[in-house]
Amino acid sequence: MSSHIGLIIVGDEILSGKRADKHMPKVIELLSARGLALSYADYVGDSPERITSTLRRAFSTADIVFSCGGIGATPDDHTRQCAARALGVGLMLHPQAEILIRERMQDTAREQGVPYEADRPDNVQRLNMGVFPEGARIVPNPYNKIPGFSCHGTGGGAVHFVPGFPVMAWPMIEWVLDHEYPHLFNRSPQTEQSVIVFGAMEAALTPLMERIELKHPGIRVFSLPSVDHPQYGRHIELGVKGPVAAVPAAWADLQAELHNVGANCGPELVRNLR
């Protein structure tokens, strides 16, 4: 896959700590189940300038990007307007979004046992949730029918916009993956193998890591130091990750290198990434 997969989380409440982000671990889970992986994540507050610059950067790439939050119609929701600004296009009420939002308003009126009044000011205001950048396509919302939207950028990729509410956002992201990108699923299975190394310093292991990456293009060597692990105490998890077919040779060389330097090695770990 030539493009990467990115995630944008919008909202002051995340950066202030008022709410904890639940989107990134769930998106990683959804991607992993389809043989895909998240490449990066950006967190941005409710600043129109920052949202616009973040989206402009996303639209300039070939990446698949999911943006969560800020697509409502209250004064602190800026994502729809910023997406249009980043693309250099206008905003318009999407015809299909209007139909879905009106259906939702009718459903709500019916549930409350009151007549549906299309021209009531609050109902007219709700239609703003369907005002998207020109050329946008809708993303269905199975929770309450009020859709998200997708826009293609100048770099050949796309940004898919969903609400901040997990109960809506997660099935909408799944819908996009399953309808837009099934051809990418499980194309390049990845795995990693690692070992717990006791009493070593990262600086001393760096030349070893560099030799492995130089000898095995496409393989990434990683080290995860820990100073207070409940089971292993102070240690480094040292390993290699990459395509399933390429990892075994790199792993064998890593083991040999560790043996040559007399490393004190503990348990070995294997993890299938996608």
Please check whether residues 205 and 122 belong to one and the same domain: no
Report the pLDDT value the prediction gives residue 189, as an integer from 0 to 100: 82
| CATH label of the domain that carries residue 247 | 3.30.70.260
Please check whether residues 127 and 202 belong to one and the same domain: no
Q: Which domain holds residue 177?
A: 5-184
Please check whether residues 142 and 25 belong to one and the same domain: yes
16 CB-near residues (< 8 Å, 6+ apart):
none
Q: Please, which residues bridge with residue 162 across strands?
A: 68
> Could you tell me the two tokens for 44?
């941005």
Report the pLDDT value the prediction gives residue 274, as an integer from 0 to 100: 58
Residue range 88-114, pLDDT digits in tens: 999 999 999 999 999 999 999 999 999
19 CB-near residues (< 8 Å, 6+ apart):
11, 13
Mean pLDDT over 162-178 rounds to 97
Which one has a higher pLDDT value, 229 or 14?
14
Report the pLDDT value the prediction gives residue 152, as an integer from 0 to 100: 96
Last residue of a domain, one of 124, 155, 184: 184
Q: What is the mean pLDDT of the chain?
A: 94
Mean pLDDT over 177-201 rounds to 91
Q: Which pLDDT band, with edges at 50, 70 and 90, does 187 fall under?
A: confident
Please check whether residues 124 and 246 belong to one and the same domain: no
Percent of the chain with pLDDT over 70: 99
196 CB-near residues (< 8 Å, 6+ apart):
232, 235, 236, 237, 265, 266, 267, 268, 269
Vertex 20, ends 74 and 192: CA angle to 5°? 125
Please check whether residues 82 and 175 belong to one and the same domain: yes
Please check whether residues 63 and 197 belong to one and the same domain: no
| CATH label of the domain that carries residue 158 | 3.40.980.10
Rounded CA separation 257/37 (Å): 29
Q: Which pLDDT band, with edges at 50, 70 and 90, does 1 fall under?
A: very low
- Report the range of poorest mean pLDDT among 85-94, 117-126, 170-179, 252-261: 117-126
Report the pLDDT value the prediction gives residue 234, as an integer from 0 to 100: 87
Indicate the pTM of the whole model. Answer: 0.83
Number of structural domains in the chain: 2
Q: Which among 204, 87, 85 is positioned nearest to 153, based on CA atoms?
A: 87
Please check whether residues 37 and 87 belong to one and the same domain: yes
Residue range 15-61, pLDDT digits in tens: 999 999 999 999 999 999 998 999 999 999 999 999 999 999 999 99
Report the pLDDT value the prediction gives residue 53, as an integer from 0 to 100: 98
Mean pLDDT over 160-181 rounds to 97
Rounded CA separation 240/212 (Å): 9
Please check whether residues 142 and 196 belong to one and the same domain: no
* End-to-end CA separation in angstroms for the chain: 13
Last residue of a domain, one of 167, 184, 201: 184
Rounded CA separation 169/161 (Å): 9
> Could you tell me the two tokens for 98?
């209007």
Please check whether residues 202 and 156 belong to one and the same domain: no
Q: Do the beta carbons of residue 73 and residue 126 sit within 8 Å? A: yes
Please check whether residues 19 and 149 belong to one and the same domain: yes
Residue range 208-244, pLDDT digits in tens: 999 999 999 999 999 999 988 888 888 999 999 998 8
Please check whether residues 46 and 163 belong to one and the same domain: yes
Mean pLDDT over 154-175 rounds to 97
Which one has a higher pLDDT value, 62 or 118?
62
Mean pLDDT over 150-160 rounds to 95
Percent of the chain with pLDDT over 90: 84
Please check whether residues 22 and 145 belong to one and the same domain: yes
